[in-house]
Amino acid sequence: MSNDNKNTYNFGMIGLGTMGRNLLFNMADHGFSVTGHDKSEKMLQLLEEEGKSHQLKGFAKIEDFIDSLQSPKTIILLVPAGKIVDDVIEEVTPLLSKGDIIIDSGNSYYADTTRRAIALKAKGLHFFGMGISGGEEGARFGPSLMPGGDKEAYAVVKDMLEAVSAKVNGEPCVAYIGPGAAGHFVKMTHNGIEYAIMQLLAETYEILKNGLGYDNGQIQQVFEQWNNGRLKSFLMEITKEVFLFKDVKTGNLLVDEIKDEAKSKGTGKWTSQIAMDVEIPLSTIDAAVAARNLSKFKALRLELENSFGKSAAIDAQADFVKDLEEAFYFAMVSAYAQGMHLLWRASDEFGYELNMAEIAKIWRGGCIIRAEFLQDIYQAYTQNPELQHLYQDEAIQAKLKKGLAGTRNVISKALQAGIAIPSFAASLTYFDTLKTGRMPSNLTQAQRDYFGAHTFERIDSEGVFHVDWSTNKA
């Protein structure tokens, strides 16, 4: 398409796949003048065809695309994370002027965002990373947005982002997250929590199907009932819908025809990796990441099932499903608590100045992990902005105490039956460890000093100590 009207558009999108197009349509719905660029002629045609009501058109030539934008030129990138982001930035940078803005809205690794921001600032360009959650539907009708970085650039796009974001009680699900790569770090953590909750739902399915012998209809009813109560969430909602979807090819429920090997794009892994780096345990999330990796060893799993046998049925009482609901709630709280604990540490470690209540608030709508429980998280951090861990909140403590017996019952009986519940089990062990005033780590320190002279500290005096463990034996 030739550029007949220079400096026409408020915002431009590079990357016109489904997410990019839908976000452009959303922006146009709210009265913003927008256009796009993509190297694919097919994507340009789809933009024009699907955007007829707003007469949306895109540009095949990057130069024409840049020329069409009003100053300061604001470009949003929705391309796959990694090298492609760097390639696009390298291509557009020579065409931009000081004060122009680039926004990376993909799932970029937070350290890459930090690097890019520093490099572009040196060239006089504004850059920030913005996490987007909500999938295709969210991009089209209202996502949760997590922008962080250059605050001056955020001010330019603030009104637009608030307009296109999801709304809860009339409040936009977007806020300035913090400096540097704060936006992408928060989105990465969001995805780690997402991995955990998805795994907990899968483990619940496993317990109901193989532990209790429920058929798909009964499983659907459990998820339906739970979604009408305190476990109401987007992931619970779509899970209950999965158990209603018939496969056109076989006539069976499609879920039964899907191969049991889970894929991932790496954001959950990043969450676990960086948590290890900053020494914040994410047991529930880590177990979920590992479970996806274990699922890929299909042939090995079948071989070992033949060697060791299948899991047994659970010896369950009449109220076992009620206990299972308690266990799910308990583990879900743990997943959110671990993610928020990581954000608490990152805020200090990287100077992100995170407002924890604000993050919970913008996650209440639009995003994949939106849930009723986020209101409890919001209240907890509103009452105590300095809260280190959600387990410290008295209201949440009361709910955990109430469901603890049922949680222990479900987890112990599932393990006795040989049913794999890595994230459920990790949640309980994490909780039990964190509430233990004196851990057996004194033995670990003794061992480290014995074989490596790594020293230890004493409970009765200050200082660092080392002894010769071969002497003074009892």
Residues belonging to the active site: 187, 194
Residues 6+ apart with CB under 8 A from 362: 144, 145, 146, 165, 172, 173, 174, 175
125-135 as b/e: b if 16+ CB within 10 A: bbbbbbbbbbb
Give the whole-angstrom CA distance, residue 144 versus residue 138: 8
Q: What angle do CA 292, 296, 297 make, to 5 degrees?
A: 125
Residue 271 in tokens:
């969450």
User: If we measure between CA atoms, which residue out of 358, 350, 348 comes closest to residue 146?
Assistant: 358
Residues 6+ apart with CB under 8 A from 134: 142, 143, 144, 166, 366, 367, 368
Q: What angle do CA 179, 184, 186 make, to 5 degrees?
A: 85
72 upstream amide cis, omega within 30 of 0: yes
Q: Which string of DSSP letters, residue by residue, matches 253-318?
A: BGGGGS-S-----SHHHHHHHHHHHTT---HHHHHHHHHHHHHT-HHHHHHHHHHH-PPPPP---T
> E-strand spans in 28-121?
34-37, 58-59, 74-77, 101-104
Q: CB-based burial of residue 122 (10 Å sphere; 0-12 exposed, 13-18 middle, 19+ buried)?
A: exposed
Give the whole-angstrom CA distance, residue 66 versus residue 69: 6
Residue matched to tokens 């699907």 = 50
Give the whole-angstrom CA distance, residue 104 versus residue 128: 6
